[in-house]
Amino acid sequence: MTAAAPSFDTLAASRPEWRPWLRVFAEARRACADERWRDFVPDVADTQPADAPRLAGAAITLDAHVAGDLLRAMALAAAEAGGPAATLGTARITKDVALSLLDASINEDTARVVELAQSLGADPGALGAVSALAAMPLLHACREAWRAELFEHWEAGYCPVCGAWPTLAEACGLERARLLRCGRCGSSWTTEWLRCPYCGLRDHERLGALVPDGGESRKVETCSGCRGYVKTLAVLKACAPIDVRLRDLETLELDVAALERGFMRTASPGYQLGVSVSPLPRGGLIAALFGRRA
Ligand SMILES: [Zn+2]
Ligand SMILES: [Zn+2]
């Protein structure tokens, strides 16, 4: 069994070069605990197609000050990593830019993030990493708001809340139920063994596993159909939603093993969400709520 999720301190001690990025991550986790994000969870239609994640097509209105403050704090923390990320220290992230970054990040629109990075004179990779973490508070708030709605019959390989491909899988408990986990919003959804979450392949002769030395508690499940892979960790209990990304970081050696053998994480989104992010109307949240009820 894999031990409990690693703490920041453990990771920072074992990988000193990650410290600035762990600080960015800490900013995202702090924001996830900020209750203001709950106010921005969008209303969603009950008439969505059966395979649509809950967030698909949503019109999100956000307090641009909250978004701007978060993105700027994270960009400054990331800049301390130096190298290409240093460009984030001077990037002028206005409220509008912050909303555009969140829009691009929630929709997993990499091309848009690159465009925004170019307009800001920032490194696209570093800005993309910051934007992905900055989307966490809203996506976690959505998962929490919708958790009462059951995803028991969710068949797709992508996240039932935010449409992302799974960050990893957990083989849970003694019965070894297979749970897919989303690092963006923290969701978990059950799925069958011997089925590729990306292409749906069920051919056991084309589904394999890379098992590193040290037993079966951590392995990489591979698909020779689409060349995708999923890291799978044996655990007694699923990790907390907020810890999925930490688990992902802690198991980077599995990604290296998969990449070395020609397997890849799929770059395109699991589902094209078509979400829009716009600022709250003038007057802020009170006015928006009042307008909604009027
Ligand atoms: Zn998700
Ligand atoms: Zn596949």
Q: Is the same domain home to 36 and 130?
A: yes
Segment 2-35, tens digit of pLDDT: 445 567 778 777 877 788 888 999 999 999 999 9
**In the numeric block, which tokens belong to residue 41?**
């969870």
Ligand closest to 223 (CA) is: 2
Mean predicted confidence (pLDDT) in 258-269: 92
Q: Is the same domain home to 140 and 277?
A: yes
Q: Is the same domain home to 177 and 201?
A: yes
* Domain annotation covers residue 239: yes
* Domain annotation covers residue 3: no
* Domain annotation covers residue 36: yes
Confidence class for position 50, pLDDT limits 50, 70, 90: confident
Q: Is the same domain home to 30 and 123?
A: yes
Distance, CA of 249 to CA of 236 (rounded, Å): 20
Segment 177-218, tens digit of pLDDT: 899 999 999 999 999 889 999 999 999 999 999 998 777 799
The count of other CB atoms within 10 Å of the CB of residue 35 is 7
pLDDT for 71 beyond 70: yes
Segment 147-183, tens digit of pLDDT: 866 566 788 999 999 999 999 999 998 888 899 999 9
Ligand closest to 270 (CA) is: 1
pLDDT on residue 284: 56
* Domain annotation covers residue 26: yes
* Domain annotation covers residue 59: yes
Q: Is the same domain home to 16 and 130?
A: yes
* Domain annotation covers residue 1: no
Confidence class for position 267, pLDDT limits 50, 70, 90: confident
Residues having C-beta closer than 5 Å to ion ligand 1: 159, 161-162, 164, 182, 184-185, 187
pLDDT on residue 294: 36
Q: Is the same domain home to 182 and 238?
A: yes
* Domain annotation covers residue 200: yes
pLDDT on residue 293: 44
Whether residue 120 contacts residue 84, with contact meaning beta carbons closer than 8 Å, is answered with: no
Q: Is the same domain home to 179 and 58?
A: no
Segment 219-234, tens digit of pLDDT: 999 999 999 999 999 9
Q: Is the same domain home to 195 and 119?
A: no
C-alpha 252 – ligand 2 centre gap (Å)? 21
pLDDT on residue 289: 58
pTM of the predicted protein model: 0.92
pLDDT on residue 174: 82
Domain with 219, as residue range(s), is 165-260
* Domain annotation covers residue 150: no
C-alpha 92 – ligand 1 centre gap (Å)? 29
Q: Is the same domain home to 13 and 126?
A: yes
DSSP per-residue letters across 183-214: TTT--EEEE-SS--TTT----TTTEEEE--TT
Segment 77-127, tens digit of pLDDT: 999 989 999 999 999 999 999 999 999 999 999 999 999 999 999 999 999
CA geometry: angle at 221 spanning 220 and 224, to 5°? 125
C-alpha 158 – ligand 2 centre gap (Å)? 13
Q: Is the same domain home to 135 and 40?
A: yes
Q: Is the same domain home to 19 and 104?
A: yes
Whether residue 60 contacts residue 40, with contact meaning beta carbons closer than 8 Å, is answered with: yes
pLDDT on residue 266: 84
Distance, CA of 282 to CA of 168 (rounded, Å): 41
Ligand closest to 202 (CA) is: 2
Number of domains in the chain: 2
**In the numeric block, which tokens belong to residue 205?**
């002769």
